[in-house]
Amino acid sequence: MAIRKILGKTSDWLGGDGPHHNIVVSSRVRLARNLKGTPFPGWAKKAERVTILERIRPHVEGLPEMAEAVSLACQDLSALEKQVLVERHLISREHAAKGLGSAVVMNRRQNLSIMVNEEDHLRMQSIRSGLQLKAAFKSVNKVDTELEQQLDFAFDSTLGYLTACPSNVGTGMRASAMVHLPGLVLSEQINQVVQAVNKIGLAVRGLYGEGTEALGNLFQVSNQTTLGETEEQIIDRLQKVILQIIEHEQNARMTLLQHRSSTLLDHVGRAYGILRYAYSMNSKEALNLLSLAKLGCDLGFYPEPWSVAVDELFIETQPAHLQKGSQQKLAADERDGLRAEIIRGKLEECPTPAILDVLSKVPPSTLPPKSASPEA
């Protein structure tokens, strides 16, 4: 089955090679579009949704970008397969709840996915590694331009693209970046940053979007408004804010390193110990420890091969990704055991972190006082 090809392969954007990838995990841009004269998916009857899907799907599958695509109808996907796609951010949680009359088409590299009959008739999304909002927009905008040659989109000269939810009207665009901010969390500055960002019309959300918890010190920053500005203006504004967040995060990390190095080393060192030797771990704990390990990589405490291993573990230890490797349904405690096993297995091959070596490179004046060390 086609989905196997996708599930067995990691997403392209997880490569961790984009600009600022230490702090910005990924950039995503999605566009919402609807057909003229037909009800939105949430209000359409089942038969109407099927007709809409039949009208849209051939055009989406015919896109040059989708030459080697995987096209999946929602009713053909198991709950587990859908959850795996959610964990990879290829479909939304809302789309995972859909059945007959909805579908998703995604390319092999898994950086372009198009949902049909989610909240809107079309939700097209492009994902890139690191801070690459412009590149992500360019790619999804091209797809939109190609599709609008063949499909009549609902568009109003004043309101722009018309969407099921008034909050998306205008450009129908949501641009977002997933940022990893352990420094700001550890130094307790995160609330200030979140509030400041909210104040200028941008939203900060948890790992899986609206209403989700910020696990693993991962946050999504996105535009809140879609009407009144051009796509480029929205992206420019978001890009500027994210560059500032990066600067704040880097400053927070430097300050921690200089003034609270023992706390920082304790966190990073404990994360190594637990990840390396634990025999049971729930997904929340795993995300939080992996976040600290990622911080350790960024600061140079953990040697090179670590950062790829840690980035992969972020996805591989998610509940559905764990389950997909097993034949029978795992209970929660079995999953926790398996998660710990996978982490141990992967980290076994990584060299022991050289935390002390790094510390010796920090100017002595910034080291914790002698009395804080265990020998004293």
Partner 1 sequence: MLCDVCKSESACVFLTQIVDGKMQKVNLCESCSRERGVTDPTAFALADLLQGLGAAQDVEQLAGRGQKCGTCGFTQAEFKKTGRLGCSACYATFTEGITSLLSSMHKGSSHSGKVPERQARFVEKEKALKELHVQLRQAVKSENYEDAATLRDRIRQLEVEA
Catalog residues that contact partner 1 under the rule CB under 8 A: 34, 36-40, 42-43, 119, 141, 144-145, 148-149, 153-162, 164-167, 169-171, 173, 191-192, 195-196, 198-199, 201, 225-231
Q: How far is the CB of 110 from partner 1 (least distance, A)?
A: 25
Q: How far is the CB of 236 from partner 1 (least distance, A)?
A: 13
- For 48, the token pair is 């109407």
Q: Which is nearer to partner 1, 171 or 317 (CB)?
A: 171
The helix (run of H) or strand (run of E) holding residue 70 is strand 70-73
Q: Which is nearer to partner 1, 10 or 198 (CB)?
A: 198
Q: Is the Cα torsion angle 11, 327, 104, 24 positive or negative in sign?
A: negative
- For 295, the token pair is 């911080």
Q: How far is the CB of 144 from partner 1 (least distance, A)?
A: 8
- For 225, the token pair is 């408004």
Q: How far is the CB of 293 from partner 1 (least distance, A)?
A: 32
Q: How far is the CB of 114 from partner 1 (least distance, A)?
A: 17
Q: How far is the CB of 193 from partner 1 (least distance, A)?
A: 11
Q: Which is nearer to partner 1, 43 or 277 (CB)?
A: 43
* Distance of alpha carbon 90 from alpha carbon 81, whole angstroms: 11
Q: Which is nearer to partner 1, 225 or 251 (CB)?
A: 225
CB-based contact 19:239 (threshold 8 Å) = no
Q: How far is the CB of 2 from partner 1 (least distance, A)?
A: 31
Q: Which is nearer to partner 1, 14 or 234 (CB)?
A: 234
Q: What is the dihedral of CA 8, 110, 294, 28, to 10 degrees?
A: -160
Q: Which is nearer to partner 1, 152 or 357 (CB)?
A: 152
CB-based contact 29:137 (threshold 8 Å) = yes
Question: Which own/partner pairs from 208-216 qualify as long-range (CB within 8 Å, at least 24 positions apart)?
Answer: 208/86, 208/89, 208/93, 209/92, 209/93, 215/284, 215/287, 215/288, 216/180, 216/287, 216/288, 216/290, 216/291, 216/314
Q: Which is nearer to partner 1, 41 or 353 (CB)?
A: 41
Comparing CA positions, the residue from 366, 359, 343, 222 lying closest to residue 289 is 343
